[in-house]
């Protein structure tokens, strides 16, 4: 596209602020690409989200395989059609076949565990069915497990033993989704497990199924943070919706093919491919687009300050106690985590003042740690100012890189993905009758599945090969950051100027969620209180599986030495502001450690609840929704803006072999990501930013409360004035 077609006068210097702003705004619109993948019959395709690989995804390209795949799909369609036909032929009527209760089906449901039985599973919906020789269903009993997991389903022995019945089944049902009709939530149940009961054994007063140890939303015992156990196929404890899978596949194929082409070329003739060529093969991103019209602008101080404030990183500004009007942003590098010898990742501290327009002006950058292979002091600090060109330009790039690493590993993966999952597991395990289930589930679904995929592709795949930390180091870091996440006392980022639009938008969204949650609770107060026991167990699961407060648990402490202790204190203090974590709050002690998540209630029933418990529950729900929707969306959708140009920012710069190390220009490809990492990086940022599905206002699956969407709609213009498109805010964390 030419400048003429945009009707923009060429601007080559940033002294023309209005035209610069016009170009930036147009570049934002221009790079919001929604390219289509037509998909003719023999176009390559992919089987599903779990087949995505950072190397070579299992893409189906051969015509024979496509044909076999097509035949299999036809079989699946036929099977689904048969299931629907069968369901209409033999409907499951709700009437219960019982003349006289003279026996009971009894037993107990508990969570399976590695070391003996887990906690009881309460309020599981249970049914007993018989099936006749002609295939008709007869419901024999219905009930649910009690608070201690025990169940006792009454039934009529004569009905159950009728000669017409061929088989008897015991079924466990669970809530699989919530959908809204006329603003009212409806819980959809599906059969989760079904087991046969021997008909001839149904004699006497009761039939005992004994203790059923179920892998129901089971916590992973081997994980360093609260995680759900996901099965080998990646489709349990929950499933992606079909729309989610289709949306991802439609967008991912073109970029997958680009990556495959690069990987083949790197294998066969690496000298024929370069970083600019890789870059050119992917869709234009925000910085490359701006560079087209304003060469050098994205490497200047104005853009640096603007993106540190309102870009993907949305930095946390700490006031300088000694210099009024000065602010610091910090990004932490390798610290004491297990790391490799290939990539540099120093700590970064940037001092800003504010310009007249309220945007930050960088004044100094401090880099602490190894900048080259020849450095050996991890605590050495170098200071650069705008007078120190060209090192100032190099230092800004290093700051962007450590910033991107921090944002991805800490804010994005730990602060939103893992954080949302700890609420998801506790929610699905415990909330069944309480209306709070309908409030939370639409926003917490699918996060366990996408995190499972990220274990292999991101933490155990791309990031550990494209940055300084090993997988072990990354997992420990995620755990430490989870040790700074708590719902209690959380508030959005406070704006420091009129130009701090990202913080203003965050405050506005927080207000919307607050209003939505308040009204939801006011309308369902009685039922929420009636089923308070579920809130108690929800809170207990959250607290009991929460990680210790950062750096305090066994194995979580920094190494010995004053320098490390000082760094740990700097990090802890900074994170307290960044994640709004109040270390002075009284928190639960478990196994000799203080847990990061605050308790919502200590009462098993509403009658015993404390005076703050009602507000605690509302605050925890508001926080969980905020994390899974707005906070995740912000980073996820801006990844391609700020991490979509290889030489502008990446997950790690390589040391190279020169004494200058990473303090070198962008055309020194020895310090840039290698070719494999370059194409993988653009594949990832495209994948993550462009395959979003499940938006609050679009409500594709009727799973979002329309009232929530309306509250957002009412503020559409106000959000737009802050640069936020309400239609782009996701309802859940699923990519």
Q: Which stretch binds Fe ion (CB under 5 A): 249-257, 361-369, 604-612, 630-638?
A: 630-638
| C-alpha distance across the termini of the chain, in Å | 31
Q: Which stretch binds Fe ion (CB under 5 A): 116-124, 592-600, 628-636, 721-729?
A: 628-636
Furthest C-alpha separation in the chain: 94
Q: Could you give the CA distance from residue 488 to residue 376 in angstroms, rounded to a whole number?
A: 41
Residue number with CB closer to Fe ion (343 or 634): 634
Q: Which stretch binds Fe ion (CB under 5 A): 32-40, 490-498, 581-589, 631-639?
A: 631-639
Interacting residues with Fe ion between 25 and 64 (CB under 5 A): none
**Residue number with the smallest Cβ distance to Fe ion:** 636
Residue number with CB closer to Fe ion (173 or 732): 732
Please choose, from the candidates 646, 692, 691, 689, the residue with its C-alpha nearest in 3D space to the C-alpha of residue 671. Answer: 646
Binding-site string for Fe ion from residue 171 to residue 200, where x marks contact by CB under 5 A and - marks none: ------------------------------
Task: State the minimum distance, in angstroms, from the CB of residue 639 to Fe ion.
Answer: 8
φ/ψ of residue 590, rounded to 5: -140, 130
Cβ neighbours of 135 (radius 10 Å): 10
Residue number with CB closer to Fe ion (616 or 733): 733
Q: Which stretch binds Fe ion (CB under 5 A): 254-262, 542-550, 633-641, 699-707?
A: 633-641
Task: State the minimum distance, in angstroms, from the CB of residue 49 to Fe ion.
Answer: 13
Interacting residues with Fe ion between 256 and 315 (CB under 5 A): none
Q: Could you give the CA distance from residue 579 to residue 539 in angstroms, rounded to a whole number?
A: 21
Please choose, from the candidates 427, 347, 350, 410, the residue with its C-alpha nearest in 3D space to the C-alpha of residue 579. Answer: 410
Residue number with CB closer to Fe ion (542 or 735): 735
Task: State the minimum distance, in angstroms, from the CB of residue 632 to Fe ion.
Answer: 6
Q: Does 731 bind Fe ion (CB under 5 A)?
A: no
DSSP state of 461: I
Q: Could you give the CA distance from residue 483 to residue 555 in angstroms, rounded to a whole number?
A: 13
Q: For Fe ion, how many residues bind (rule: CB under 5 A)? A: 1
Answer yes or no: are the C-beta atoms of 572 and 318 closer than 8 Å.
Answer: no
Residue number with CB closer to Fe ion (595 or 632): 632
Residue number with CB closer to Fe ion (450 or 505): 450
**What is the residue-wise DSSP string for 362-404?**
EEEEEEES--STT---TT-EEEE-GGGTTHHHHHHHHHHHHHH
Q: Which stretch binds Fe ion (CB under 5 A): 280-288, 418-426, 635-643, 709-717?
A: 635-643
Interior CA angle at 354 toward 725 and 663, to 5°?
90
Q: Does 448 bind Fe ion (CB under 5 A)?
A: no
* Residues near 511 by beta carbon (within 8 Å), at least 6 away in sequence: none
Interacting residues with Fe ion between 327 and 346 (CB under 5 A): none
Q: Could you give the CA distance from residue 391 to residue 27 in angstroms, rounded to a whole number?
A: 28
Pair of tokens at residue 4: 């003429």
Helices (H), 210-352: 242-268, 275-281, 286-293, 301-310
Task: State the minimum distance, in angstroms, from the CB of residue 289 to Fe ion.
Answer: 23
Task: State the minimum distance, in angstroms, from the CB of residue 285 to Fe ion.
Answer: 17
Residue number with CB closer to Fe ion (145 or 636): 636
Task: Say if residue 114 is exposed, middle or buried (CB neighbours under 10 Å; 0-12, 13-18, 19+).
Answer: exposed
Q: Which stretch binds Fe ion (CB under 5 A): 74-82, 490-498, 629-637, 692-700?
A: 629-637
* Residues near 93 by beta carbon (within 8 Å), at least 6 away in sequence: 137, 139
Q: Does 636 bind Fe ion (CB under 5 A)?
A: yes
Residue number with CB closer to Fe ion (57 or 636): 636
Interacting residues with Fe ion between 374 and 403 (CB under 5 A): none
Task: State the minimum distance, in angstroms, from the CB of residue 641 to Fe ion.
Answer: 15
DSSP state of 245: H
Task: State the minimum distance, in angstroms, from the CB of residue 255 to Fe ion.
Answer: 16
Task: State the minimum distance, in angstroms, from the CB of residue 73 to Fe ion.
Answer: 29
Task: State the minimum distance, in angstroms, from the CB of residue 225 to Fe ion.
Answer: 16
> What does the binding site for Fe ion look like in residue numbers (CB under 5 A)?
636
């Amino acid at each position: 596209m030419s400048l003429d077609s945009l009707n923009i006068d060429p601007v080559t210097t940033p002294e023309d602020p209005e035209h610069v702003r016009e170009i930036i705004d147009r570049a934002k619109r221009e790079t919001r690409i929604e390219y289509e993948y037509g998909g003719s019959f023999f176009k390559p395709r992919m089987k599903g989200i779990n087949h995505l690989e950072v190397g070579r995804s299992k893409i189906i390209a051969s015509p024979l395989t496509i044909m076999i795949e097509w035949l299999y799909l036809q079989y699946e369609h036929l099977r689904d059609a048969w299931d629907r036909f069968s369901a209409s032929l033999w409907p499951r009527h709700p009437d219960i076949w019982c003349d006289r209760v003279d026996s009971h089906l009894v037993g107990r449901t508990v969570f399976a565990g590695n070391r003996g039985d887990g906690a009881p599973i309460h309020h599981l919906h249970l049914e007993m069915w018989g099936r006749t020789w002609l295939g008709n269903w007869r419901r024999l009993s219905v009930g649910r497990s009690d608070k201690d997991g025990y169940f006792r389903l009454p039934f009529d022995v004569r009905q159950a033993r009728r000669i017409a019945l061929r088989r008897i089944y015991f079924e466990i049902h669970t809530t699989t989704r919530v959908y809204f009709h006329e603003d009212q939530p409806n819980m959809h149940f599906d059969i989760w497990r079904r087991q046969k009961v021997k008909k001839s054994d149904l004699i006497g007063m009761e039939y005992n199924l004994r203790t059923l140890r179920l892998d129901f939303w089971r916590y992973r015992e081997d994980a360093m943070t609260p995680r759900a156990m996901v099965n080998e196929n990646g489709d349990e404890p929950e499933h992606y919706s079909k729309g989610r899978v289709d949306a991802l596949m439609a967008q991912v194929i073109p970029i997958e093919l680009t990556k495959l082409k690069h990987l083949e070329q790197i294998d066969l003739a690496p000298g024929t491919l370069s970083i600019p060529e890789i870059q050119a093969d992917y869709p234009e991103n925000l910085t490359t687009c701006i560079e087209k019209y304003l060469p050098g602008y994205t490497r200047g101080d104005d853009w640096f300050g603007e993106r540190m404030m309102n870009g993907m990183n949305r930095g946390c500004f700490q006031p300088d106690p000694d210099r009024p009007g000065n602010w610091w942003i910090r990004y932490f590098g390798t610290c004491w985590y297990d790391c490799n010898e290939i990539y540099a990742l120093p700590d970064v501290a940037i001092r800003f003042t504010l310009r007249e327009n309220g945007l930050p002006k960088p004044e100094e950058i401090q880099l602490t740690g190894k900048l080259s292979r020849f450095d050996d002091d991890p605590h050495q600090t170098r200071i650069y100012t705008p007078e120190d060109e060209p090192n100032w330009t190099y230092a800004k790039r290093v700051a962007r890189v450590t910033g991107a690493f921090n944002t991805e590993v800490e804010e994005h993966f730990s602060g939103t993905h893992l954080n949302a999952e700890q609420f998801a597991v506790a929610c699905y395990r415990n909330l069944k009758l309480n209306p709070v289930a309908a409030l939370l589930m639409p926003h917490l679904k699918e996060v366990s599945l996408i995190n499972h995929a990220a274990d292999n592709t991101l933490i155990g795949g791309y990031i550990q090969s494209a940055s300084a930390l090993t997988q072990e180091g990354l997992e420990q870091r995620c755990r430490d950051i989870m040790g700074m996440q708590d719902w209690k006392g959380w508030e959005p980022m406070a704006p420091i100027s009129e130009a701090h639009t990202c913080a203003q938008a965050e405050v506005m969204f927080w207000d919307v969620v607050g209003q939505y949650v308040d009204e939801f609770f006011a309308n369902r107060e009685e039922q929420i209180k009636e089923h308070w026991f579920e809130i108690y167990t929800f809170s207990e699961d959250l607290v009991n599986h929460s990680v210790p407060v950062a750096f305090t648990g066994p194995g979580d402490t920094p190494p010995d030495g004053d320098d490390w202790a000082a760094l740990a204190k700097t990090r802890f203090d900074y994170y307290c502001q960044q994640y709004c974590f109040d270390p002075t709050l009284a928190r639960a002690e478990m196994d000799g450690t203080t847990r990061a998540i605050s308790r919502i209630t200590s009462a098993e029933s509403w009658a015993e609840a404390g005076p703050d418990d009602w507000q605690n529950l509302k605050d925890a729900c508001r926080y969980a929704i905020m994390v899974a929707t707005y906070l995740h969306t912000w980073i996820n959708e801006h990844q391609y803006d700020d991490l979509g140009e290889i030489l502008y920012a990446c997950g790690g710069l390589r040391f190279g072999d020169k004494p200058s190390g990473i303090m070198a220009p962008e055309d020194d490809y020895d310090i840039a990501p290698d070719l494999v990492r370059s194409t993988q990086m653009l594949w990832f940022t495209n994948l993550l930013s462009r395959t979003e599905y499940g938006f609050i206002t679009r409500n594709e699956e009727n799973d979002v409360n329309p009232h929530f969407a309306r509250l957002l709609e009412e503020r559409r213009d106000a959000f737009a004035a802050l640069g936020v498109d309400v239609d782009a805010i996701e309802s859940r964390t699923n990519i």
